Amino acid sequence: MAAIGCLAACDRPVPGPTTAPIGRRLVCSFLPVYVFTLNVVGKVPGFDVQLMLPPTAGCPHDYELTSADARRISQADVLIFSGGLEVFAGDAARRLNPRALQIEAWRGCDLIAAECDDHHESHAHSVNPHVWLSPRQAIRQVRNIADGLSMAYPEHAATFRDQASAYVDRLEALSAEVERARVRLSGRAIVTTHDAFAYLARDLDLRVVATLSIAPGREPSPAHLAGVVRLIRRFRVPVVFSESGTDPRVAELVAREAGVPVRELDAIVTATAPPSADYYERRMASNLHVLSESLK
């Protein structure tokens, strides 16, 4: 999968209004964005950081807003999106709330081309939007959120940037763990449920030789799954990686046919309860452990 590089306009700061929005209600689209924002805002008083999608909702591919979601967007002062994934961002959100500042966190990330056009036909630039699954790209997202909030609330800019820097230090340590794992795992072939793990695979120099799903919400055909089994055998893939929070039956079927086990990776889009500020770090560390144990 070829990296398409940073977009030309992405190195500019995230735009903000010349005056602070009225109120301090920050609505985050889904779980990783919420965690990143929690770390930037920290304990600055008066801010209400909300998670729009339920923590059990998962990846918001083609997610349709409920009336409660629409109401939350309409009442927000700042809307924070990951970018490329939330079809309800941009103009759709502006129709519901034209006054809210929108922060798109993936600006400037080193993006990967989508596996197939129809997967992301409604997403900007036809790229893989799962950038948060690379700690290195997550750092850029955190900085963009901090920049956007600093422009919106200049009286707290220094605090936001200090807290973002402290969180980035922890993500840098996590990136160093990824780099150490890369030395051990480089070149290994893997099969995953869908293309969510392309960014982590790139960081680790893993080859994703197949994905079980071609597009979110679309059942893979028997012919496609038979092809995946052949690839597992051809490349001697030692394990099939399913995704936490999703139905594992297809992964189990393919793994059984290929004679390999199933192990679970976390796309960090679901939680059984609203997550804590260290949730991303804990789940990513777990992913690294699973990968290292499965591919050793």
CATH code for the domain in which residue 166 is found: 3.40.50.1980
80-100, pLDDT tens digit by residue?
A: 999 999 989 999 999 999 999
Q: For residues 128 and 120, is the Cβ–Cβ distance under 8 A?
A: yes
Question: Confidence band (pLDDT; 50, 70, 90) for 115?
Answer: confident
Examine residue 13 and state whether it is found in any structural domain, yes or no. Answer: no
Residue 2 tokens read as 């070829």
Q: C-alpha 25: how far from its chain's center?
A: 22
For residues 259 and 157, membership in a common domain is answered with: no
Q: What is the pLDDT of residue 274?
A: 83
- Domain termination site, one of 136, 153, 171: 171
Examine residue 8 and state whether it is found in any structural domain, yes or no. Answer: no
Q: C-alpha 129: how far from its chain's center?
A: 7
Q: What is the pTM of this model?
A: 0.89
Sheet containing strand 48-51, edge to edge, reads 48-51, 25-28, 78-81, 101-104
Mean pLDDT is lowest, of 63-77, 84-98, 110-124, 175-189, for 110-124
- Domain termination site, one of 152, 171, 190: 171
Element (H, E) at 160: helix 157-185
Examine residue 1 and state whether it is found in any structural domain, yes or no. Answer: no
Decide if pLDDT at 6 tops 50.
Answer: no
Q: C-alpha 209: how far from its chain's center?
A: 21
- Domain termination site, one of 155, 171, 187: 171
207-229 mean pLDDT: 90
Domain of 217 in residue numbering reads as: 176-295
Examine residue 5 and state whether it is found in any structural domain, yes or no. Answer: no
Domain count, the chain: 2
The bridge status of strand 111-113 relative to strand 3-5 is antiparallel
Residue 102 tokens read as 């929108």
197: closest CA among 176, 184, 212?
Answer: 212
Q: What is the pLDDT of residue 15?
A: 43
